[in-house]
Amino acid sequence: MTDKMIIGLDRAAEIISSRDNILILTHANPDGDTLGSAAALSLALGQLGKRSRIENSDEIPHKYDYLFTNTQKELFAPEFIMSVDVADKKLLGSLEEKYDGKIGLSIDHHGSNRLFAYETCVDPGSSSTAELILELIKLLGVTVTQGIANAIYTGLATDTGCFRFMNTTANTHIAAAQMMAAGADCAMINKLMFETKSFSYMKLEKRGLEGLTLHFGGRVAVISLTGEDFRISGASQQDCDAICGIPRQVEGVDIGVTMREKEPGLYKISVRTNGGYDASAICQALGGGGHKGAAGCEVRGTLEDAKKAVLDAAGKYLDTVKD
């Protein structure tokens, strides 16, 4: 790792200015931040007369189509490869093998960045990679067009739960204000990102709420979804991501648990906490890991087995944090 360097945005702008035919990689299962960052950067490079292309390991959900209306799509042999919002080369998904060791520049906001690129510009104080890309674009002397504003706003809004999560800072709001002033269609983006749910998702949520249970005097809430719940609702595993936020929203709950049957007899457990309780401590006890506010693990067995294992781990954790 001796040849890996952590750099600032000034240096990142210098590198990009000196390069052309740039390939931009996003992380697997792409979200609004990695896609918005890539689209904004691609549009900015176009304005500088540089050729660029975005590559992903997975199909991009159609709700993000508006990001790519005017991005460059021409194929070319890349002379320089960079990644946006990718904390670990493993997160490149199927592109890891192809590009491992070839990534010149990584721009990211995850404190957990594994420094897999030759040069890495990482700011964990930034709400999103898009917030960093906006600063970079300004350093490059690019005008923020409506397309760029839409892309940056998408990253800001999606990574902060529309300015609701704790990673939102004053600078995030200032960036959002600048994007609105530059013509971002925030009404359209907010509707698409936050106010649109599939009918099958609604059916899955209903089934989840049906089985919502409270434990430990209401401090732990659990939603469990079996393979049958997914089959009957027609919802996808991805639909479940939004459900993981529900249990911890119940008044008085410190620890919210969502259990989904990933394959027969294998439950994926997602833990979300409030008020500083440590989700990763609970998941580590079951062989998983994650962050303080959000962590995960997998448990084999029946729904009853898995639920018992999680509640045991949660109970033991709550014992350790007693005043």
**Applying CB under 8 A, which residues contact a copy of itself?**
162-166, 168-174, 176-178, 180-181, 186-187, 190-191, 194-199, 202-203, 205-206, 209-210, 212, 214, 218, 245-246, 248-251, 274
Task: For a copy of itself, give the closer residue by CB, 4 or 191.
Answer: 191
- Given the complex with a copy of itself, which of 7 and 244 has the nearer CB atom? 244
Residue with tokens 């360097």: 5
Q: C-beta of 161: minimal distance to a copy of itself in Å?
A: 8
**In the complex with a copy of itself, which residue's Cβ is closer, 186 or 266?**
186
- Complex with a copy of itself: residue 5 or 242, whichever CB lies closer: 242
| Phi, psi (rounded to 5 degrees) for 222 | -130, 130
Amino acid 215 reads H
Q: Count CB neighbours of 279 within 10 A.
A: 27
Tell me the β-bridge partners of 225: 260
Minimum distance from residue 246 beta carbon to a copy of itself (Å) = 8
If the CB atoms of residues 115 and 250 are measured against a copy of itself, the closer one turns out to be 250
Yes or no: say if 170 and 188 are a contact pair by the CB < 8 Å rule.
no
Cα separation, 112 vs 120, whole angstroms:
12
The CB-of-239 to a copy of itself minimum distance in angstroms stands at 11
What is the nearest approach in angstroms of a copy of itself to the Cβ of residue 319?
Answer: 24
Query: Which token pair is 93?
Result: 């998904």
Q: What does 111-130 look like in DSSP terms, one character per residue?
A: TT----SSEEEE-TTSSSHH
Tell whether the torsion through CA atoms of 282, 287, 292 and 295 is positive or negative.
negative
Side-chain-side CA neighbours of residue 115 (13 Å): 8
Q: 49, 126, 50, 124: which is closest to 82 by C-alpha?
A: 50
Nearer to a copy of itself, 75 or 170 (CB): 170
